[in-house]
Structure 1
Amino acid sequence: MTTDPCGCDAPGRTALTKEHALERLLARVEPVGGTETVSIAEGLGRVLAEPVKSTIDVPAWDNSAMDGYAIRHADLAAAGGRLRVAQRIPAGSTGSALEPGTAARIFTGAPVPEGCDTVVVQEICEASGDWVQVPLDCRTDANIRRLGEDIRAGAEVIAAGTRLAPQHLGLAASVGAARIRVRRRLRVAVFSSGDELVMPCEALGPGQIYNSNRFMLFGLLEQLGCELVDLGIVEDSLAATEEALLRGAAQADLIVGSGGVSVGEEDHIKTALERVGTLELWTIAIRPGKPLAFGRIGTTPFIGNPGNPVSLFVTFCLFGIPVIRRQQGIAGDLRPLSLRIRAGFDWPRPDKRREFHRARIQIGEDGAQELTVFPSRSSAVLSSVAWADGLVEIPEKQVIHKGDLVDFIPFRGLFG
């Protein structure tokens, strides 16, 4: 790949910044086609293909916001606040019109009776037999939820492109939407490169390691709601790598690999991708995770992550997740959520590349949140990722002093 006709970076050129790389990646993928209709009980984690609109007003009638007494406020002065309780209206029932000088015992959610303009909470009333004493200074129009004050019939309540959380399912149910139109699940083919890799159920031989990346990627993709296509472990050969890429392109919407993206004699991703497809991005100026291969085989995108487990986790969180969310048709800002939190550490020797170090939130001596960092910077220490709450972003060549505000990407915000 010696030319760059589409503005992509050829290997050997200056590494891209995180922002530039993500911008390019997102510009090169589109939402997949295909939708299906599912019940709202099956909707968790799915992406809406069509907005949910309400066919009803919510509330559908004026109703009581509290347990108490429904009254006509104008009756209070003449009666000295003492009213006869003429009816009882629990939720699910409908009362009759208020007779002059009477009150209705009413419960939360019940329709207020005709003529009622105020609900007085039970805690400030004094009930005695069939009578209730209501304070004269109670506010008129209090504690009534009016018809349609939450949602009007015909209104859009959930926008297309929303990944459905539990609260969205409840909202859809509240307007009577029993079935919803969603995008089909994204199919992602996954493989791991390396002759040294074995499965956890096997005995380790000389020079072998367990394939932790496979299970980490599977877990990440399942949390994102993807369908998995398992391409297994790919041996370190050009022919095997080409065959895996072609198999993935035939079966999936996206191919994700781990390992084989460096420039060693046993790293075949670059050459294989150039032979059976196109290579569009190669290096990013971050640590860990500098080598990141992006290209396509036919129309199927490919993301090749580093083999070191921490590097893979970082690059997938920063770039893989936004790409997948884009292909899933999720609307809005696809960048990982970032928070400003106080550093509880010093960073006196910054790198020339942007660093994403594993960090944990703790409470400082003054009771405020601050970050502590894992002691090792190695990209092979997978325990650091399990220890951490997220990634602290340390700008290029910038010294960090304890107490400085820094950018923090929480792991819990990656899948929303």
Structure 2
Amino acid sequence: MPSLQSVISCLSDYDPTALPVAQANRIIADVVEPVSGIEQVAIRAALDRVLAEDVVSPLDVPAHDNSAMDGYAFASAALQAASGGEVTLRVIGTALAGEAPGLVPAAGEAVRIMTGAVMPAGCDTVIPQEFTQRVAQGTGETAGEAAGETVRFAADAVRAGDNRRLRGEDLARGKPALRQGRVLNPADLGLLASLGIAEVKVRRRLRVAFFSTGDELRSIGEPLDAGCVYDSNRYTLHGMLRRLHVDLIDMGVVRDDPAALEAALRSACENADAVITSGGVSVGEADYTKQIMAELGDVTFWKIAMRPGRPMAFGRIASNGHQALLFGLPGNPVAVMVTFYHFVRAALHRMMGADIAPPPLMRVRSAQAIRKKPGRTEYQRGILARGADGQWEVRITGQQGSGVLRSMSEANCFIVLAHEQGGVAAGDPVEVMLFEGLL
């Protein structure tokens, strides 16, 4: 694996005291590699797991040309031979789904066919039954499924080849059905079942350890002494990590003590693939936090040109022959969530071997003026809704301080203000990142 310092040394404009968001993400992506370890699981147990290898289809889907409609199958030559713009065909029988084909209609004949039934030999077109009129041969009267039934329909009601699903149209034998790196969803499980595949190879689950630091933090259920607060960061981290379907190691709150911090980092490193901490990496924090992190491995400390979430530590730590990636996040609750979503989430996906595109941005109008200085990326918490004219617009939730966790709870999107962007006037277009699918 490439070392952090070797990656950084290749950057001519690297400045850890004012690092752009895009450059921080590039550095992380260059350092992070997928974990090893593959296991074979039943498809019922494969939901939300990462596929470790391509799944190649062992058969054609569908296995035969078949009907996409309930109707009548016939040879399209009858359309060209139609007299007076109308086609009349004698029905010789019925083809049902799941039955072996046996009917072979001649010119001027058709087969009543059900959806999914194999197309009879010589037939290439299906006319839906609602476009036909059934008549008793020789009488012109409407009839049921009587012997000698004929069907009549307008020649322009269907085109040659309509309503026929071709063999291998959905998936051809020998072609990849699903690619490695895919996070398997319910439809994928159905697809695998349709191919007769009972088990698939998936990457092992990622193990992530996390803890909060600070003497002022208390866990839920403990009394609050003067100057103390309940630790919310572990609960937001727990929720965000659960959405990634990783194995979690919650190590609680670690007090501001060098020995305790080193013991926690070593234990986390020896039992997890990634370690996430909150607090202890800001300017003015205890120097031993950074010192211990640096002593345990290849770690750098950044002041990222963003708001909220400026301080961050990143690198790789080692203990007793084990290695783990380290993400040292700031202590403020909103800053923890913002840095997780814009740095850690993508890195963990990469470690999982998951091929997942970044969340898309939606361009909408701003319902209000937003102040911003060029030179940093801002993630304002916003509420996206329809305006009075029916168009999408976004407004900020109010107070945007990095300690105001309520702003994340009330919001349904990030308003993403780019690094070089300045202030926004009411009515200007802005980009938003929806929380749906993210949080």
Q: By the TM > 0.5 criterion, same fold?
A: yes
Is contact 2:280-2:286 (8 Å) kept?
A: yes
Q: CA 1:387–1:217 in structure 2 vs 1: closer, same or farther (change >3 Å)?
A: same
The answer for the alignment partner of 2:138 in structure 1 is none
Map of 1:107 onto structure 2? 114
> Alignment partner of 1:98: what SS?
coil
- Residue of structure 2 equivalent to 1:125: 132
- RMSD over aligned CA atoms reads 2.4
1:407 aligns with 2:438: no
Aligned match of 2:71: 68
Equivalence for 2:346: 322
**What displacement does 1:147 show?**
0.7
1:293 and 2:313 are equivalent in the alignment = yes
Unaligned runs of 5+ in 2: 135-142
The reply on whether 1:331 has 2:391 as its aligned counterpart is: no
Matched, 1:240 2:260: yes
2: CA distance, partners of 1:313 / 1:59: 46
The CA deviation at 1:4 is 6.1
Is the contact between residue 194 and residue 235 of structure 1 (CA under 8 Å) also seen in structure 2?
A: yes
SS at match of 1:164: coil
Give the deviation of 1:7 after TM superposition.
Answer: 2.4
Q: Give the Å deviation of 1:75.
A: 4.8
How many Å separate the matches in 1 of 2:285 and 2:69? 73
User: What do residues 164-193 of structure 1 show as CA deviations (whole Å, max 9, x unaligned)?
Assistant: 222322322232222111110100011111
Do the aligned partners of residues 90 and 125 (structure 1) sit closer, same or farther apart at CA in structure 2, a change above 3 Å counting?
Answer: same
Q: Contact 2:16–2:304 at 8 Å: present in 1 too?
A: no
Larger Cα-atom Rg: 2
1:372 alignment partner in structure 2? 395
Q: Provide closer, same or farther for how the CA distance between residues 204 and 103 of structure 1 changes in structure 2, counting only shifts above 3 A.
A: same
Secondary structure at the counterpart of residue 201 of structure 2: strand
User: Counterpart of 2:8 in structure 1: which amino acid?
Assistant: G
Contact 1:261/1:268 (CA < 8 Å) preserved in 2? Answer: no
Q: Which amino acid aligns with 1:61?
A: H
Per-residue deviation at 1:78? 7.2
Matches of 2:360 and 2:120, distance apart in 1: 48
Letter in 2 for 1:146: L
Tell me which moved more, 125-134 or 292-301: 125-134
Contact 2:74 2:105 in 1 (8 A): no
Q: 1:182 to 1:305 in 2, by over 3 A?
A: same
Q: Distance in 2 between matches of 1:303 and 1:25?
A: 10
TM-score by length of 2: 0.87
Distance (whole Å) between structure 2 residues aligned to residue 175 and residue 103 of structure 1: 31
Distance 1:195 1:342 in 2: 44
Distance 1:263 1:25 in 2: 22
Is it true that 1:34 corresponds to 2:53 in the alignment? no
In structure 2, what residue type is equivalent to 1:169?
A: L
**Identity among equivalent pairs (%):** 41
Q: Contact 2:73 / 2:111 at 8 angstroms: preserved in 1?
A: yes
Q: Which residue number in structure 2 is paired with residue 46 of structure 1?
A: 49
Contact kept in structure 2, 1:64 and 1:106, CA below 8 Å? yes
Secondary structure in 2 matching 1:313: helix
Q: Secondary structure in 2 aligned to 1:81?
A: strand
Which of 318-327 and 111-120 deviates more? 111-120
Matched, 1:83 2:84: no
Which residue identity lines up with residue 71 of structure 1 in the other structure? F
Scaled by the length of structure 1, what TM-score is found?
0.92
**Which amino acid in the other structure matches residue 324 of structure 1?**
L
Deviation of the 1:260 alpha carbon? 1.4
Instruction: Look up the SS of the partner of 1:384 in the other structure.
Output: helix
Name the aligned partner's letter for residue 24 of structure 1: I
3-state SS of the aligned residue for 1:232? strand
Partners of 1:45 and 1:249 lie apart in 2 by 25
In structure 2, the partner of 1:252 is 272
Q: Please tell me the residue identity of whatever aligns with 1:121.
A: P
Q: Quote the Cα distance in structure 2 between the aligned partners of 1:69 and 1:207.
A: 80
Task: Please give the alpha-carbon distance, in whole angstroms, between the structure 2 residues aligned to 1:5 and 1:102.
Answer: 75
Deviations 1:152-173 (CA, angstroms, capped at 9, x unpaired)? 1000121111122223223222
1:55-106 Cα distance to aligned partner (Å, 9 max, x none): 1111110000111111234457479633333222222223322333432221
Gap regions ≥5 residues in structure 1:
none
Tell me if the contact between 1:88 and 1:95 (Cα under 8 Å) persists in the aligned partners.
Answer: no
